[in-house]
Amino acid sequence: MDCTFPLCSATQRSLQPARWKNSHSVRSHHSEHSLSPDGSGHQHSCLEPLECRDLLVQNALFTGDLDMVQKYFTKGAAVDLVIETRGDVLRWTSTKRGLWSLSYEQELTTPLLITASRGHTACLRLLLLRGAAVDFAPGGRTALHAACAASSAVCARLLLRAGAHPEALSEDGHRPLHLCCKSSDSIECVRLLLQHGASVNSQTEEENDTALHVASRHGLAEHVQLLLHHGAELEVKNKEGQTPLNAACAQHHQPQDMDRYYRVCQLLVESGASINAADRDRQHPLHLACKNANAQIVELLLARGANVNVMNYGGNTALHNILQVAAYKLEHRPELVVRALLNHGAVRVWPGSLLKVLRYCHLCPRVIEALVNSYSHVRVSEDWEAAVPAEVVQKYPCFYQSLFSLGHKPRSLQHLARCCLRTLLEGRLLLVLSQLHLPSALHQFLLLGFEDVLY
């Protein structure tokens, strides 16, 4: 929320309200209950909301100046004012002369919402004591929405104790619980809402997301654990047909966030989430995890029996998905995903398409290494050398020289033996190897361990 306010002709006055005309924007009216000075709820009459354009009043609210707020909001003064501020969203507006300009959308707010959104607990408490309507929402959301979005547990507690509705629906179809599942700092807000009767499985109006969808999408393991403890449903699907597990696997994340998303998926899977749940495009969690090149999640899903060769509507398997993004996910180590899929029985790329894969994935030689080592023989031609830029060959000289040399010499006997054994144990490779007491080096060799050179 921006602190820029409309100018007022008399800024030295205390409060000079004017009639508020945008009655169609009111989402909820005055609550019948507010907090009395002794902490108990009392009824008050529903007055027509008044508009405040006074800069001094607005600045006192936005800065949390308790002395000034006490001065302006004395006993008996209007508390449920409507304040117009500049929002964060740009939109095109037309002037009287027919010209269009890009300006920030104007938002309607209240003193209670301003103080709640900024964590000004002393001011918020004062406004509640002065009888502020706790669910008044001229701008489409309540003060509780604002407190939860700001991860202000103290403000949320004050509002809930004053009778704020934990299931209030904002203009864009969100409940407070949905908003406080977007930040790791809001875990206490989640606890408070659930303690005060918020429904753990309520869905947003447009996306049909539950709080578990939102927390999973943002990689918030602690939130996910708390929601599951309170009975969050695992298989609810949103508008895109995603379960919370799908949502977690689909969310793009940076390498430093891979552990967080793995922990979220681990919690969901261990709680019984379906690992083969498909969304509207028949994308399974494995497809989505491969698009994000998260090897930990891929290994988790495969270990739980995910179908490694299932296709989406586009005809792509999980292996297709990781090869398509490998060049853009180098820091995620996509080679680990490729190796995991191959070791779990993924149908290999048609040998005639390996040259195309090389053109796309030459920046990640270990992806090429894993693929080439899954075949006993690969026909390497001069086109392969032309497919790799000279600067990439200079960066990985040993690997690419060994790759190009396969065009005129056979693979080593050791490699051929590996391929023979992998073919023999196809579909049972990991199960059998786990029962054999093989030396670590041999075990890694059979599982396509990386050597950065081809023999």
Question: Structure tokens of 379?
Answer: 């026909």
Question: Within a domain: residue 338?
Answer: no
Say how far apart CA 165 and CA 177 lie, in whole Å: 11
Segment 28-37, tens digit of pLDDT: 333 333 333 3
Question: Structure tokens of 383?
Answer: 């086109």
Which pLDDT value is given to residue 218? Answer: 97
pLDDT > 70 fraction of the chain, expressed in percent and rounded: 85
Question: Within a domain: residue 448?
Answer: yes
Spatial strand order of the sheet with 100-109 comes to: 18-19, 50-51, 81-94, 100-109
pTM (2 decimals)?
A: 0.85
Which pLDDT value is given to residue 50? Answer: 87
Which pLDDT value is given to residue 427? Answer: 82
Q: Is the pLDDT of residue 130 over 60?
A: yes
Say how far apart CA 204 and CA 172 lie, in whole Å: 8
Say how far apart CA 290 and CA 425 lie, in whole Å: 24
CA distances to 83, 189, 352, 356 from 227, in Å:
35, 12, 49, 45
Which pLDDT value is given to residue 373? Answer: 97
Mean pLDDT on 408-414: 92
Which pLDDT value is given to residue 374? Answer: 96
Q: Give the up-direction half-sphere exposure of residue 63: CA atoms within 13 A in the CB hemisphere.
A: 12
Segment 218-251, tens digit of pLDDT: 999 999 999 999 999 999 999 999 999 999 999 9
Quote the distance between the C-alpha of residue 48 and its chain's center: 40
- Domains contained in the chain, number: 2
CA distances to 239, 313, 409, 419 from 107, in Å:
28, 42, 72, 66
Which pLDDT value is given to residue 6? Answer: 37
CB 114 within 8 A of CB 61: yes
CA distances to 326, 369, 428 from 330, in Å:
6, 15, 30
Question: Within a domain: residue 127?
Answer: yes
Segment 289-314, tens digit of pLDDT: 999 999 999 999 999 999 999 999 99
CB 253 within 8 A of CB 221: no
CB 404 within 8 A of CB 379: no
- In this structure, the strands spanning 50-51 and 81-94 are parallel
Say how far apart CA 326 and CA 333 lie, in whole Å: 8
Place of tokens 């701008």: 139
Within 8 A by CB and 6+ apart from 331, the residues are 255
Q: Which residue has the higher pLDDT, 106 or 21?
A: 106
Which pLDDT value is given to residue 42? Answer: 37
The CA-based angle 429-435-439, given to 5 degrees, is: 90
Q: Is the pLDDT of residue 166 over 80?
A: yes
Question: Within a domain: residue 349?
Answer: no
CB 332 within 8 A of CB 292: yes
Q: Is the pLDDT of residue 364 over 60?
A: yes
Report helix angle 258-270 to 295-303, nearest 10: 20
Rounded mean pLDDT of the chain?
88
* Domain of residue 118, CATH code: 1.25.40.20
CB 123 within 8 A of CB 156: no
Which pLDDT value is given to residue 271? Answer: 97
For residue 396, what are the domain limits? 358-455
* Residue 424 banded pLDDT, cuts 50, 70, 90: very high
Question: Within a domain: residue 84?
Answer: yes
Say how far apart CA 147 and CA 158 lie, in whole Å: 10
Question: Within a domain: residue 283?
Answer: no
pLDDT > 90 fraction of the chain, expressed in percent and rounded: 78
Which pLDDT value is given to residue 95? Answer: 56
Segment 190-226, tens digit of pLDDT: 999 999 999 999 999 999 999 999 999 999 999 999 9
User: Which of these three, 136, 168, 197, is where a domain ends?
Assistant: 197
Q: Is the pLDDT of residue 412 over 80?
A: yes
User: Which of these three, 139, 167, 197, is where a domain ends?
Assistant: 197
Q: What is the 3-state secondary structure (H, E, C) of the chain?
A: CCCCCCCCCCCCCCCCCEECCCHHHCCCCCCCEEECCCCCEEECCCCCCEECCCHHHHHHHHHCCHHHHHHHCCCCCCCCEEEEEEEEEEEEEECCCCCEEEEEEEEEECHHHHHHHCCCHHHHHHHHHCCCCCCCCCCCCCHHHHHHHCCCHHHHHHHHHCCCCCCCCCCCCCCHHHHCCCCHHHHHHHHHHHHCCCCCCCCCCCCCCCHHHHHHHCCCHHHHHHHHHCCCCCCCCCCCCCCHHHHHHHCCCCHHHHHHHHHHHHHHHHCCCCCCCCCCCCCCHHHHHHHCCCHHHHHHHHHCCCCCCCCCCCCCCHHHHHHHHHHHCHHHCHHHHHHHHHHCCCCCCCHHHHHHHHHHHCCCHHHHHHHHCCCCCCCCCHHHHHHCCHHHHHHCHHHHHHHHHHHCCCCCHHHHHHHHHHHHCCCCHHHHHHHCCCCHHHHHHHCCCCCCCCC
Segment 328-357, tens digit of pLDDT: 999 999 999 999 999 999 999 999 999 999
Segment 432-444, tens digit of pLDDT: 999 988 999 999 9
User: Which of these three, 171, 197, 223, is where a domain ends?
Assistant: 197
Q: Is the pLDDT of residue 27 over 90?
A: no
Segment 69-107, tens digit of pLDDT: 999 999 988 999 999 887 555 656 555 556 666 656 678
Q: What phi, psi does 119 have (nearest 5°)?
A: 70, 25
